[in-house]
Amino acid sequence: MDYRPNGGVFCQPNRIKIGIYCEGQQPSTLDVRRKIVKRLAGFLVILISLILVACGSAEPTPPPTLSLSLLATDIAYDQEQLEVMAGQPVKIMLSNEGALEHDFSIMEIPHLGEVMAEEMEEGAEHGVHDMSEMDMDPEVHVAAPIGGRSSVEFTPSTPGEYEFFCTTAGHKEAGMKGTLVVQAP
């Protein structure tokens, strides 16, 4: 028998392996399978990591803001009922086409976050809106000047029916009111 040393591995003349494998000889099927399994396992670890990162790190997308228009004329709104969903941000655009200043107010309504009121640059200049006859401040409030527009944004949190009205003296009593219906999602 002719034994040839090859880095600590010896091969017999008929190329029978004694050790890892002989020079010029291909790795065994078992060695190839082990390499494939190792590569596949590494690929699966990377794939699962990417899936977990993609699923777990994103913030839930908030629902889009629902924009509603409400027209105020002399002692009336153009709509007596507005419908929204609980948890959905709402923007109410109040346009005043009346001869007096008008507003949109809701005394009590459960809501998420802050109520943001914004007066637009359109319309006549106006002074401070007088709410001195009110016992308490409304949760949601925005005033629109004569010929102008203003908006208020809020997110109602609890389903129910909530009265909205104009706080200008005598307007609510004359019928300038309506209902905001907050529906369950």
Phi, psi (deg, nearest 5) at residue 152:
-140, 135
* Band of pLDDT at residue 51, cut at 50, 70 and 90: confident
* Band of pLDDT at residue 20, cut at 50, 70 and 90: low
Q: Is the pLDDT of residue 49 over 70?
A: yes
Q: Which residue has the tokens 């389903």?
A: 159
Top-confidence range, 2-6, 51-55, 125-129: 51-55
Quote the tokens at residue 121. Answer: 């640059």
Name the residue ranges covered by the structural domains of the chain: 4-56, 66-183
Residue 14 has what pLDDT? 58
Mean pLDDT of the chain: 82
Domain 66-183 has CATH 2.40.50.140: no
Quote the tokens at residue 156. Answer: 């109602």
Residue 34 has what pLDDT? 84
- pTM (2 d.p.): 0.63
Residue 66 has what pLDDT? 96
Q: Is the distance from CB of 10 to CB of 18 less than 8 angstroms?
A: yes
Residue 22 has what pLDDT? 53
Q: Is the pLDDT of residue 59 over 80?
A: no
Residue 161 has what pLDDT? 98
| Secondary structure of 49-66 as H, E, C letters | HHHHHHHHCCCCCCCCCE
pLDDT by residue (tens digit) across 153-162?
A: 999 999 999 9
